[in-house]
Amino acid sequence: MKVTIVGAGVIGLCSAYYLQKEGYEVTVIERGDITDGCSFGNMGYISPSHFIPLASPGIIAEGIRHMLSSSSPFYIKPRLNWDLLQWGYHFWRNCNTATVKRNAPHLNNILHLSRYLINDMRDEIGDTFEMEEIGCLMMCKQEKTLQHEFHLADDAEKFGLQVERLRRNEVQQLETDVEVDVAGAVLFKDDCHFDPGKMITALKKHLESNGVRFQLHTTVTGFEKQNNRVTAVLTDKGKTDADELIVATGSWLPVVMRMMGIRLLLQPGKGYSHTYDHVEKNLKYPAILVDGRCAITPWKQRLRIGGTMELSGINNRVLIKRMQGIYESARNFYPGLTIDFPPADKIWNGLRPVTPDGLPYIGRVNNFENVIVAGGHAMLGISEGTGTGKLVSEITQHKTTSVDISAFKPQRY
């Protein structure tokens, strides 16, 4: 059976990985060269600790407060856009305790599945992407923030996660080479991190060696349909037949699905990052800087800082002041860290696909019996990549899925 996957980010590649293992003939179509997507420049976490959906109580008030600052971690470009308005309405409706309580277990399930599977994938494709299983710190500048994280740690333990609550001196004992200035932190021991760019490169190389075909620099222009099936993908370079079609195009998901007459609510959330190639006295642990709404990841002598959520449509424009906020937060939390503000042409940006409830879209669509959507993972694409790929393979085979996917229905809005 021929399976065609549109999109070669982490979700598309993980789907190809599990499908080729089941013996399918897989073709992956990608508009770029795989190095220019959000899967390359992110922070590289697989985080079972992130079981609270983005749509949660207080996030809107916090967002409005942040929008008053040009260097804030959150920004919505004011514009009259019907899709944005509808997305915003449903996002607002999901920002309540009852919805979070209902959605968190589903997020937890796919995160745990992905965390379990990544070790097997690493062992098979080769340990070339600097994976470390030392956990991730949730670093808190203020005592109030720390107490909130301690409370979340209680919830995490109910989900079976291993946590360690740390005060300032205990955090400093972990970071022996760099001075820290925080109230404390929570160490989520089940989290791991790696270089996402190296992981994507290694996975593509493995797939090619196992017969997966790639059509890069290829733009989808439409679909050939017959009755209630999509029979082929039309591109600027010709036609590709498909017995099963997987659409994993990240922030371009609504654009591609609209070609089939299907409307999905999703907004691209721009994030920024910069990678320092050599930091003499570097961090040992990756960390979310909770008060600063950004993150920091070390890989030996390299260091990446990143963050922000900018809802300004599909574009790659860089707002320098957004990166300024990330940089200042990193220096604020780690006054002993010696890094310079990056030059404008070295600031990476990518678009995260954000759904109105913080849960991904995974499953078959109602309109066509052979079309599966896999997208909308927001900031958790890497964290949920292997789990999503496994689920896509199971859905394709009409098998019972490893976890309940009822909350991930693509057309739930």
Q: Which two tokens stand for residue 3?
A: 């399976």
Query: What is the pLDDT at residue 59?
Result: 76
The DSSP call for residue 374 is: E
CB 290 within 8 A of CB 149: yes
CB 151 within 8 A of CB 91: no
Query: What is the pLDDT at residue 64?
Result: 67
Question: Cβ neighbours of residue 195 under 8 Å, at least 6 residues apart?
Answer: 44, 129, 130, 299
Query: What is the pLDDT at residue 70?
Result: 60
Task: Summarize pLDDT for 358-376 with one digit per residue, the tens.
Answer: 999 999 999 999 999 999 9
**CA 229/CA 223 separation, integer angstroms:** 10
Query: What is the pLDDT at residue 73?
Result: 72
> How far is residue 278 CA from its own chain's centroid?
26
The DSSP call for residue 314 is: S
Quick one: three-class SS letters along 111-144?
HHHHHHHHHHHHHHHCCCCCCECCCEEEEECCHH
**Which of these, 242, 256, 255, 265, lies nearest to 396 by C-alpha position?**
242
| Helix or strand (DSSP H, E) at 150 | helix 143-158
Query: What is the pLDDT at residue 66?
Result: 65
Query: What is the pLDDT at residue 99?
Result: 94
Question: Cβ neighbours of residue 262 under 8 Å, at least 6 residues apart?
Answer: 365, 367, 411
| Helix or strand (DSSP H, E) at 259 | none
User: What length is written for the chain?
Assistant: 413
Residue ranges of the chain whose pLDDT lies below 50: none
